[in-house]
A = this chain, B = another copy of it.
Amino acid sequence: MDADTLIAAVSILTAGLTIAIGSIGPALAEGRAASQALQALAQQPDASATITRTLFVSLAMIESTAIYCFVVAMILIFANPFTDLVTQPAGG
């Protein structure tokens, strides 16, 4: 098993696990925030403007942690700096 193959195998495994594990927390958190927003809307319909605005800002902030994971997974699949590092000296 040469270096290229190992790097590729580890990158595939890591990319998948990163986005898989990394989607649990944000999804549950968004579910909680959205759930509470719906309860708040039912309880205080007059404040719907403030509630939905706060909800969307919060969802965006929570989504950011999922985005971090997606970015790392994409980097590992399509722009992996270690692939060049390893293949370069081997080809040099």
Contacts and interface: CB of A to CB of B under 8 A. Distances in A.
Contacts of A83: 85
B2 A3 contact: yes
A12 B59 CA distance: 29
A54 to B, nearest CB: 6
B19 A17 contact: no
A57 B56 CA distance: 9
Contact of A65 (B14, B51, B66): B66
Interface string A53-92: 0111111011111101110110111101111011101000
A39 to B, nearest CB: 6
Contact of A73 (B16, B38, B41, B48): B16
Nearest to A91: B89
Contact of A4 (B3, B58, B68): B3
Given A5-B86, A39-B42, A26 B65 contact: yes
